[in-house]
Amino acid sequence: AIAAASLAAGAVVAVARVHAGELGGGDAGYGSVLTALTVGLGFGLFLGPRVLVPFSRRRLLGLAVIAAALALVVLALVQNLVVVVFATAFLGVFAGAAWSTAKMAAHDPEAPEGARPAAYLRSVALITALVSFAVVPLIAAAAGSHRLDLGGGVYDAYGTGVALLVAAVLALVTGLFAYRRLDDRRGIPLVPDLRAALHGEIYTPPEQAAAAPQPVHRNRGVFIAFEGGEGAGKTTQARLAAIWLRDHGYDVVTTHEPGATKIGMRLRAMLLDRDTTGLSDRAETLLYAADRADHVANVIKPAVDRGVIVVSDRYVDSSLAYQGFGRGLPVEDIARVNAWATGGLVPDLTVLLEIPPEAGLRRLPAPADRIESESQEFHERVREGFRALAEADPDRYLVLDASRPQGELSREIQYRIREILPDPVPLGTEDATSTFPVITDF
């Protein structure tokens, strides 16, 4: 996929000067084409990880490459400089999106230690670009210019146009091949999959949906999760938030993961006991998911259905950050397993308390458990993971620097929670009635 994207972009650069000249553009035309490509690439790099978030990254990568190749077909055939500049810009966007998506999709959990997929991709891109710089102009020269008589009119086939078309066809064939190899949702039709992703959902074919558990309809209660690395103080903040909510007359259930249910406590013991050795990463992920499934079914969902506010210390994001980013398992797979385990229950708000691992681990009083005693790099990856998750869905997250004073943090959390409460106490009421007793002492 990357070779095809790089070929498409490289071919344009290779003959842009001459092609712009053929179309009567001169230096200004050449400059416009290169600018369009660069600006497009920049946009694409930025957009890649941000568009269609629920959509499979591997499918997106294949589609972006095919779209880049199609843009090149247009660019090669239409002999109008304005169209060429716009097609180049689109080509850039798709190639850029392909690049940033490939970096996400290339993450391979089975890769041996020391494998560097990003470096490999960079080499593929570079070599393909260099080869296309050398070969595309040769094809252009070999093809030469011809006047084609098309009955109704004539079409001047320039050598550069022919060379671009050859590159486009090659990129298209490679792109289609790559899409087929990449596709991790085989059998699921593309159009409804894309349509669902546009609405922020993961498409489930009707026959699977009928078999899957019904998603939770949270029309009454509110579900708030607290997330963060070790020693970020989320337990404290979750408690303070619950106390504040109770002071305001809300019915609150505070809970935590792992180990909030009877079965969960046994799973927690297995998961965190340092005597548990040799537990495989996938098994660990499934045990956390099992604990979560039990937690949702027996604690969270019944409470939310009753209209209660549920405050949970950790939820799905912990698995994405620890098992996904920390252990290096594919984040998409973990998300899917957890979506199934939880019946699709997503928090209304996730508060992420951010702290550098060394500072967080220093704060911990008790001897380290199995996860806490992982390496510094592991905890660094977990932190990056949490950050990436929050960045991908900024509306659902409140990200706070956990090194700030506790009182300040809980104030900010309260302001944010107030926004999602079904019937919040009006702002200013606290000042007038001074019903703010428990929190202000920090």
Do 311 and 226 touch, CB atoms closer than 8 A? yes
Piece of the chain touching ligand TYD by CB under 6 A; list 12-20, 83-91, 163-171, 312-320:
312-320
**What 3-state class would DSSP assign to 399?**
strand
Residues 359-418 within binding reach of ligand TYD (CB under 6 A) = 369, 371-372
Q: Among 1, 69, 241, 257, which residue interacts with ligand TYD (rule: CB under 6 A)?
A: 257
Q: Which residues contact 393 (CB under 8 A, 6 or more apart)?
A: 53
Choose between 333 and 372: whose C-beta lies nearer to ligand TYD: 372
Per-residue binding string, ligand TYD, 141-180, x by CB under 6 A, is ----------------------------------------
DSSP state string for 93-106 = HHHHHHHHHHHHHT
Minimum distance from residue 420 beta carbon to ligand TYD (Å): 22
DSSP state string for 145-181 = -EEEE-SSSEEEE-HHHHHHHHHHHHHHHHHHHHHHH
Phi, psi of 326 (to 5 degrees): -70, -55
Q: Among 56, 174, 318, 414, which residue interacts with ligand TYD (rule: CB under 6 A)?
A: 318
Q: Can you tell me which residue has the tokens 């702002």?
A: 427
Residue nearest to ligand TYD (CB): 322
Phi, psi of 227 (to 5 degrees): -130, 160
Minimum distance from residue 414 beta carbon to ligand TYD (Å): 22
Residues 259-288 within binding reach of ligand TYD (CB under 6 A) = 272, 288
Regarding 342 and contact with ligand TYD (CB under 6 A), the answer is: no
Choose between 63 and 353: whose C-beta lies nearer to ligand TYD: 353
Per-residue binding string, ligand TYD, 96-135, x by CB under 6 A, is ----------------------------------------
DSSP state string for 4-63 = HHHHHHHHHHHHHHHHHHHTT-HHHHHHHHHHHHHHHHHHHHHHTTTSSTTS-HHHHHHH
Choose between 159 and 258: whose C-beta lies nearer to ligand TYD: 258
Choose between 38 and 403: whose C-beta lies nearer to ligand TYD: 403
Choose between 77 and 290: whose C-beta lies nearer to ligand TYD: 290
Q: Output the six-digit token pair for 376.
A: 């510094």
Task: Give the H/E segment covering residue 209.
Answer: helix 206-211
Q: Among 58, 301, 314, 381, which residue interacts with ligand TYD (rule: CB under 6 A)?
A: 314
Q: Residue 355 CB: number of other CB atoms within 10 A?
A: 23
**HSE toward the beta carbon, residue 439, CA cutoff 13 A:** 27
Which parts of this chain interact with ligand TYD (CB under 6 A)?
A: 230, 235, 256-258, 272, 288, 314, 318-319, 322-323, 369, 371-372
